[in-house]
Amino acid sequence: MVQPLRLGLAGLGTVGIGVVKIVQQHADLITARTGRPVVITAVSARDRTKNRDADLSAYAWETDPVALAQREDVDVFVEVMGGHEGAAKAATEAAIAAGKDVVTANKALLAHHGQALAEAAEAAGRVIRFEAAVAGGIPVIKALTEGLAGNRITRVMGVMNGTCNYILTRMQNAGLPYETVFEEARQLGYLEADPNLDVGGIDAGHKLSLLAAIAFGTRVAFDAVELEGIGNVSIEDIELADDMGYHIKLLGVAQMSGRGLEQRMTPCLVPAESPFGQLQGGTNMVMLEGDSVGQIVLRGPGAGEGPTASAVMSDVIDIARGLRLPTFGRPAATLVPAVPAKAATPAPYYLRMTLLDKPGALAKIATCLGEAGISIDQMRQINQPGEEDDDAIVIFVTHKAAPADVAHALTSFAQTGVLVGQPVAIRIEEL
């Protein structure tokens, strides 16, 4: 008789309960697809008395996830607790040491400790699978490690934080300022306990660093990701961009250049009619570019009970079927340290600034751009005709410019004496 694959589930929040429901509701379907039953034998969470809207009575209970990871009746340790230190890290290490395979939804854990954990797992003959850690229900890890394994990946690009995409599209559709929509997102429970993980781009940066490691055969290098959140994106920028045919997205881009690995997670303008431009609400989208396949676009729900649990179970089912791959698609010992490189690929830029109403103000800014080697594609001045003593909002869209030249121009602007406040510079990403 075929032995069941026995799961130890650490974490009984939204995702953990989603896993319980799939295992319970689709038991026959999973057995038919894998050739063996998949069962949960034990679970772990801090509060055993909490009502979780699921029947957990058949499972052994461990208060300590490390003890759960070491149980003899557990074959696969499923970690959906979160956090890159403490219990999640200790329990994952204990599971590997005890000869268990690991399935995790924890992008922070792998972004900070992925190399060491991968080396430990592969040395022990175990696997770590983490489809649920990136882009929720979208099978992007499987696409990179399996479907596109015959390609040299040239670029990875994506909108990978549903909360940020919700905030930006809500601002755009409702004409509301950032602060109002941020509070709305908090009330709806969309934000992490530390909101900066979302709006600061950290969560999405974790995901980008994992995709880059798989795509380019490098060790995970989260510390090298250029991060800029969405907190400085104003409703004025969103409306002006929309008027010019663009939408603003928190966009991650990773690519290998002759200087090293470029990784950036920053607000960008994208064409409104492009797939990224049309992305609404909490949906995620990832574009993968390979030398043979060209571009493929994967789109779907980036979070939530069902989508994330679905991704967890896809990894569990692969293990039940006997599929065993290195953590990052190739042996961890062969992954090379990433040489970090600042983004240098030229692109058009959107520049917004407020100028004092004084003669020659605009000419001084234009001179700074010229001296930085930046040419102007479009220029708009926004003020009320006939009114005097009003500061003017000026918008430039540049031709392609190197990021270093844009930074030089911004420094020069500050020395002109004609600026009111800080200028805004947002890259326009060509898709």
Catalytic annotation on 400? no
Type of residue numbered 307: P
Question: Which residue is catalytic, options 207, 249, 342, 364?
Answer: 207
Q: 117 and 84 in contact (C-beta within 8 Å)?
A: no
Q: 43 and 81 in contact (C-beta within 8 Å)?
A: no
Residues whose CB is less than 8 angstroms from the CB of residue 323 and which lie 6 or more positions away in sequence, other chains included? none
Q: How many helices (H) and strands (E) does the chain have?
A: 14, 16
Distances (CA, A) of 379 to 157, 362, 375, 390, 395: 29, 11, 11, 19, 6
Q: 306 and 18 in contact (C-beta within 8 Å)?
A: yes
Q: 102 and 76 in contact (C-beta within 8 Å)?
A: yes
Q: How far apart are CA 384 and CA 112, in angstroms?
A: 51
Q: In what helix (H) or strand (E) does residue 141 lie, and over which residues does it extend?
A: helix 140-142
Q: 245 and 270 in contact (C-beta within 8 Å)?
A: no
Q: How far apart are CA 286 and CA 316, in angstroms?
A: 23
Residues whose CB is less than 8 angstroms from the CB of residue 178 and which lie 6 or more positions away in sequence, other chains included? 167, 171, 230, 231, 233, 234, 235
Q: How far apart are CA 216 and CA 326, in angstroms?
A: 14
Three-class secondary structure of residue 340 per DSSP: strand
Distances (CA, A) of 288 to 13, 152, 299: 31, 11, 11
Token look-up 């699921």 returns: 54
- Just list the catalytic residues: 207
